[in-house]
Amino acid sequence: MPKKNLDTLSVNTIRFLSADAVETANSGHPGMPMGMADAAYVLWTKFLKHSPGNPKWFNRDRFVLSAGHGSMLLYSLLHLTGYDLSLKEIKNFRQLHSITPGHPEFGLTPGVETTTGPLGQGFATGVGMAMAEAHLAARFNKTNRSLIDHYTYAIVSDGDLMEGISHEAASLAGHLKLGKLIYLYDSNQITIDGSTEISFTENVGKRFEAYNWHVIEADGHDHEEIESAIRKGQAELDKPTLIVCKTTIGYGSPNKEGSSSSHGAPLGEEELRLTKKNLDWDPDAMFHIPDEVKTHFRSTVGKGEVLEKSWNEELEKFRQESPELASELDTMLSRSLPENLEELLPVFEPDEKGLATRKASQQVLDSIAAHIPSLFGGSADLKASNLTGLKDRGDFLPGSYEGQNVNYGVREHGMGAAMNGISLHGGLIPFGGTFLIFSDYCRPAIRIAALSKIPAIYVFTHDSIGLGEDGPTHQPVEHLAALRAIPNTLVLRPADANETVWAWKTALENEEGPSLLALTRQALPTFDRPENAPASMVQKGAYILKDASDGKPEIILMGSGSEVSIAMDAANELISKGRKVRVVSVPSWELFKKQPDDYKEKVFPPSVTKRVAVEAGVTLGWKQWLGKDGVVIGIDRFGESAPYEEVYKHLGITSENIVKEAMKLLS
């Protein structure tokens, strides 16, 4: 069979696997896979360096389907090129327990590099992957061996480019000169509501040139043009490349191509048959894969094995030539932490004056920067406030990628998604800082991390009204509750410097999802801890920081972060009144919920029904720890601009108020 016909057959196989799956599920998006099948085919068969038999081969090219609604395009390619994704799974598209969900999910489907669907996330996640590649290449390609040397590709859509996050990530990628980032933009001029003319008329190419991208136009159905464009993109190493592929959505459908009607619903039985006839396909065949097409695509498996074998040989030589560097690489690829991590961490002496937990956090970073080579992070233009610098580890700069300190700019959302990409790439532990209030700006990226079990670490400082004068626009009140609401998200709000140390340790050790540290701007006392309340108890989520002398309290005070010291003051006042008081520090609801019942009941004995919780935020959710009679002192309103001590007083987050509520309960 002449090559040209094999190309056509192959592309149409992708089209109809996709359209048939959507038709069978009676749900999904056929138009995008049909429109981008040509470009994806060229990319996957002529360029993509991967090994379907080992989707985790480290030096593979990364491919991101940012337009995640076109998931069937990716599933078709994965099946055809020989990933562990059977035709049965394709037939079970969008069904319970299949590995072919509506939108691609990392961790569920071999070969899916990241979870996409919420528009713009994939775009920005790919930027993180390219950052990771650039950084690791700078650190490990020091000999004549290019161990880390791959491209990051993505297919992005009009919708991706309308989202603000695409701006943040594209601007950052252009600034950083990430030349090995190549994005194929499916410019089909159609969105859900119709033509892009109704809302999206910007000059995308010019916009990306303004970001310092290399922009190429191509006919998205012309294989030679696409091939040439990708080659040009590969050759331009100082700029990311955007290939504007002019395509027709729903390509081949006589009545629906070029229209939004092919975007988000099955073609319909009759139209699907007409489309098959139109493209010279058997109208009765469903999920048909011509043998020659299968053979053609499946050659990828063998090619991948060869690539991988050759890379493994290089790695072996590298190990022999540069054993120390190789050992560092191994440490990083396995996300290993130092065995003596605890010894490396600072210990803070009791100190009534104390320090802000953000400052304790900086000291943690200072103490581990030289010992955890995989740390890679920074802040969204608040480094001096978030205190997220890695001492002596250099800056990650455009064209000079060896440093581990990243200047994200005022791009919280882009930073969050980039962290996802950095983590997914492997080899690095990403962290990023901003004010807690701006967790709202990166929330969709945090959600992707939670859903994908990505261990990104967020350093959210200025975590309450305690930031004072900047006022209600900058004072988070609802944010702790709103973040605790996200499944699989570890929120840690340490109460003093030593809890901060253990919060960091817990975050570093958590490989199952994002960890969010909520840290203060203002100084907090460093507690003089009783022997049975070491700061390592942070790992339990809640613990008895101070107890009644006989261990039989009549009332329990509890709180998180900066409010624990206020509760301690209240406890001392109550003790001076002859009361038997326990103080429970609650740095993490999620961790406490995982404890066995007997531990929970030890901390909160059901018999002690008098309880007061305090948090400088909304009261939502505290009720669950209060038993039937407990009360919570919180802030169910916005804050105030004033020196922080005055704001605390004005909003009633004071030891006096705790004592008052406690005495009410006790009387």
Contact code string over 441-480 relative to its own copies, x by CB under 8 A: x-xx--xx-xx----------------xxxxxxx--xx--
Span 210-229, contacts to its own copies by CB under 8 A? 210-212
Among candidate residues 616, 409, 365, 346, the one with its CA nearest the CA of residue 507: 365
* Part of the chain binding its own copies (CB under 8 A), chosen from 13-21, 172-180, 293-301, 369-377: 172-180
Q: Which of 171, 367, 520, 654 binds its own copies (CB under 8 A)?
A: 171
Nearer to its own copies, 376 or 441 (CB): 441
Contact between 337 and its own copies by CB under 8 A: the answer reads no
Contact between 572 and its own copies by CB under 8 A: the answer reads no
Contact between 164 and its own copies by CB under 8 A: the answer reads yes
Contact between 294 and its own copies by CB under 8 A: the answer reads no
CB 300 within 8 A of CB 60: no
Contact between 317 and its own copies by CB under 8 A: the answer reads no
Q: Give me the least distance between CB of 239 and its own copies, in Å please.
A: 12
Among all residues, which ones are annotated catalytic? Answer: 412
* Binding residues with its own copies: total (CB under 8 A): 106
What single DSSP character describes residue 106?
T
Among candidate residues 69, 64, 75, the one with its CA nearest the CA of residue 118: 69
Say if residue 295 is exposed, middle or buried (CB neighbours under 10 Å; 0-12, 13-18, 19+): exposed
Give the sign of the dihedral formed by CA 370, CA 376, CA 377, CA 383: positive
Q: Give me the least distance between CB of 590 and its own copies, in Å please.
A: 10
What are the φ and ψ backbone dihedral angles of 219, each rounded to 5 degrees?
-75, 115
Among candidate residues 319, 364, 361, the one with its CA nearest the CA of residue 341: 364
Q: Give me the least distance between CB of 175 and its own copies, in Å please.
A: 5
Q: Where are the alpha helices (DSSP H) in 426-519?
A: 439-452, 479-484, 497-509
Nearer to its own copies, 122 or 559 (CB): 122
Contact between 486 and its own copies by CB under 8 A: the answer reads yes
Contact between 319 and its own copies by CB under 8 A: the answer reads no
Span 4-33, contacts to its own copies by CB under 8 A? 25, 27-28
Q: Which residue has the tokens 């749900």?
A: 27
Contact between 166 and its own copies by CB under 8 A: the answer reads yes
Contact between 418 and its own copies by CB under 8 A: the answer reads no
Q: Give me the least distance between CB of 629 and its own copies, in Å please.
A: 9
CA dist., res. 371 & res. 342, Å (int): 12
Q: Which residue has the tokens 């995989």?
A: 374
Q: Give me the least distance between CB of 230 and its own copies, in Å please.
A: 24
CA dist., res. 507 & res. 519, Å (int): 13
Span 73-132, contacts to its own copies by CB under 8 A? 94-98, 101-103, 105, 115-119
What single DSSP character describes residue 343?
H
The H or E element containing residue 215 is: strand 214-219
Nearer to its own copies, 94 or 582 (CB): 94
Q: What angle do CA 207, 213, 217 make, to 5 degrees?
A: 75
Contact code string over 637-656 relative to its own copies, x by CB under 8 A: xx-xxxx--xx--x------
Nearer to its own copies, 159 or 587 (CB): 159
Nearer to its own copies, 151 or 589 (CB): 589
Contact between 185 and its own copies by CB under 8 A: the answer reads no
Contact between 391 and its own copies by CB under 8 A: the answer reads no
- Other C-beta atoms closer than 10 Å to the C-beta of 447 total 19
Contact code string over 26-65 relative to its own copies, x by CB under 8 A: -xx-------------------------------------
Q: What is the DSSP string of 46-81?
A: II----TT-TT-TTSPEEEESSGGGHHHHHHHHHHT
CA dist., res. 480 & res. 616, Å (int): 10
Contact between 72 and its own copies by CB under 8 A: the answer reads no
What are the φ and ψ backbone dihedral angles of 471, each rounded to 5 degrees?
85, -175
CB 166 within 8 A of CB 204: no
Q: Which residue has the tokens 């105030």?
A: 640
Q: Give me the least distance between CB of 408 and its own copies, in Å please.
A: 7
Span 601-630, contacts to its own copies by CB under 8 A? 618, 620-621, 623-624, 627-628
CB 567 within 8 A of CB 614: yes
Q: Which of 2, 56, 144, 198 binds its own copies (CB under 8 A)?
A: 198
